[in-house]
Structure 1
Amino acid sequence: MALRMYEEKDHVAAYLQYRVTPEEMINRIMDFMKPKTQQKFNLAVDVGCGNGKGTILLAPFFDQVVGTDVSPAQLEMAQANSLCSNVTYRQCPAEELPFESSQVDLVTAMTAAHWFDRPRFLNEADRVLKSNGCLALLSYTMDMELEYGDATSALNNICDELYAALRPFKNPCLGSSSSKIYFDMFESCTYPDKEWNGSLRVNRTVTVNSFIGMVETFTSYQKLMRQDAAEAKRLSDDIRNKLMAAMQVSSPDTELTMVVRYFYMFARKP
């Protein structure tokens, strides 16, 4: 059974503000799709679309883009922030997509498929995809690295401390490695034309505060906060102060580089 996540409005708003937008990944998806067809693409479906930050990036390439999610709070945020006339949203489970068979050019899920009932979702994606339609599943690891001049090594030791503190609160369904979940889906996909990349490094300029804000959107941090809000706040404050001390700065709005490691699978239906 798929899991329901990101239902609380405060969590959804923080997710929209702090989570990484996958611009580079959209270009890779389109590069994979284009060599085998010159026709204009009709329909893309972004499953588990959340706040729609990735969904709207598909708009220039398709006549119609539909984002689907089970969370009303996420869809409300997506609709409020969508300015694209060819993008719409539907509430439904990932395993029960409201499309006819062989109708969809692209089924994608960005940082979401690990929450699905994966065998059922893959069967459903296969049902709705056209011949030569593509499946694109991507996510990133939750152990971002930080870079700031000579302080880089110290910053990542502090990050390791943070990730270790959150590890006991990790959802058991994610197992020891989220990338393994996606590689297992890649291995189980029977389409002969497929591609796997286990480590694509993407850099983002963030502030100390926005890095902490992103970590606070993790489901592990949210679980800690529900169990002990004071301890969660103490952890955030302690890590923020340690990062600033290592950087020798006084403002949490100081910018640094965050390195995100994406992994993805692309596959084309015969």
Structure 2
Amino acid sequence: MNRFFEDKEVAINYLKHRPHYSAEIAEAIINYLAEHKAKPFQMALDVGCGTGQLTRSLAPYFDEVLGVDVSSAQIDVAKTAQNQKNISFSVGRAEDLPTPDSSVDLITSATASH
């Protein structure tokens, strides 16, 4: 198995050069969620967050946003970015999420399966 994204230098370049998601993407996600769940939105979980591009886009809409990625290098670099106070990052796997069942309002996974 190739774990290309585990390299610290790759993670640094990923944060620096990977395009960010537009505000329209986050708004489309939130509009869809609002059709199915009443506000306020408490927690979002971004699985395979990498360096946190989508994670940061979701922060204005939730009390708490957690980004989870299997790569400790990606998480370390995500923590160095300019993050809102309601964002946290954690190393973890999609098969074993660090949240209790039914505790999140939204689970996202952007371009996590390369």
Matches of 1:93 and 1:110, distance apart in 2: 15
Aligned to 1:65: 65
Cα deviation, residue 30, structure 1: 0.8
Cα deviation, residue 95, structure 1: 1.1
Tell me whether 91-100 or 22-31 shows the greater mean CA deviation: 22-31
Q: Identify unmatched segments of 5+ residues in structure 1.
A: 116-270
Cα deviation, residue 84, structure 1: 0.8
What TM-score comes out, normalization by structure 1 length? 0.40
SS in 2 for 1:68: strand
Cα deviation, residue 83, structure 1: 2.7
Cα deviation, residue 56, structure 1: 0.9
Matches within 5 A, 1:32-71: 32-71=32-71
| Residues 41 and 63 in structure 1, CA contact (< 8 A), matched pair in contact too | yes
Aligned to 1:136: none
SS in 2 for 1:56: helix
> Whose helix fraction is larger, Structure 1's or Structure 2's?
1
Matches of 2:18 and 2:93, distance apart in 1: 22
CA RMSD in angstroms, aligned pairs only: 1.7
Matches of 1:65 and 1:3, distance apart in 2: 29
| Residues 5 and 71 in structure 1, CA contact (< 8 A), matched pair in contact too | no
Aligned to 1:93: 93
Matches within 5 A, 1:10-159: 10-23=9-22, 24-112=24-112, 114=113
If asked which structure has higher relative contact order (CA below 8 Å, sep 6+), I would say: 2
Cα deviation, residue 5, structure 1: 4.0
Matches of 2:48 and 2:4, distance apart in 1: 10
Query: What number of residue pairs does the alignment pair up?
Result: 113
Matches within 5 A, 1:256-267: none
Aligned to 1:227: none
What TM-score comes out, normalization by structure 2 length? 0.89
SS in 1 for 2:53: coil
Change beyond 3 A, Cα 1:3–1:44: farther
SS in 2 for 1:102: coil
SS in 2 for 1:41: coil
> Whose strand fraction is larger, Structure 1's or Structure 2's?
1
Change beyond 3 A, Cα 1:26–1:5: farther
Based on CA coordinates, which of the two structures has the bigger radius of gyration? 1
Aligned residue type for 1:13: I
Identity of aligned residues (%): 37
| Residues 43 and 64 in structure 1, CA contact (< 8 A), matched pair in contact too | yes
